[in-house]
Amino acid sequence: MNKFFTLFALGITLYASAQKKVLTHEDYDKWKSIGSYDLSANGKYVRYEINPQEGDGNLYVYDANNDETKKFTRGYGAKFTHNNNYLVFKVKPEYAETREAKRKEKKKDEMPRNHVVVVDLNTWVMDTINEASSFKISEEYEGWVAIKLENKRKEKKDKSKDEKNSKEEESAEEKKSEKEKSSKEKDEKKSKKKIVKNRILLWELGGSKRDTIGWVNEYSFAKKSPRLLYSIKNEKADSIKGVFFYENGQSELLDTNGKSFVKLAISEQGDKMVWSSTQDSADAEV
Task: Compute the average pLDDT of residues 122-127.
Answer: 96
At residue 195 the predicted structure's pLDDT band, cuts being 50, 70 and 90, is: confident
Instruction: Name the least confident of 90-99, 113-122, 190-199.
Output: 190-199
Residue 140's nearest CA partner among 203, 57, 80 is 80
Instruction: Name the least confident of 13-17, 232-236, 240-244.
Output: 13-17
**Which residue(s) pair with 62 in the sheet?**
46, 69
Using DSSP's 3-state secondary structure scheme, residue 165 falls into: helix
Using DSSP's 3-state secondary structure scheme, residue 101 falls into: helix
Q: Which pLDDT value is given to residue 41?
A: 94
What pTM was computed for the model? 0.78
Cα angle at 80 between 207 and 199, to 5 degrees?
60
**For residues 129 and 147, what is the distance between their CA atoms, to the nearest angstrom?**
8
**For residues 121 and 51, what is the distance between their CA atoms, to the nearest angstrom?**
23
b vs e for 39-68, b when ≥16 Cβ sit within 10 Å of the residue's Cβ? ebeeeebebbbebeeeeebbbbbeeeeeee
Task: Compute the average pLDDT of residues 81-100.
Answer: 97
Per DSSP, 64 falls in state: T
Tell me the chain's radius of gyration from C-alpha atoms: 28
- 207 Cβ neighbours under 8 A, 6+ residues apart: 143
Q: Which amino acid is at 218?
A: E
Number of Cβ within a 10 Å radius of residue 145: 22
**For residues 228 and 137, what is the distance between their CA atoms, to the nearest angstrom?**
10
Q: Where are the domains of the chain?
A: 209-286
Q: According to DSSP H, which parts of 104-146 are helical?
A: none
Q: Which pLDDT value is given to residue 5?
A: 43
Using DSSP's 3-state secondary structure scheme, residue 164 falls into: helix
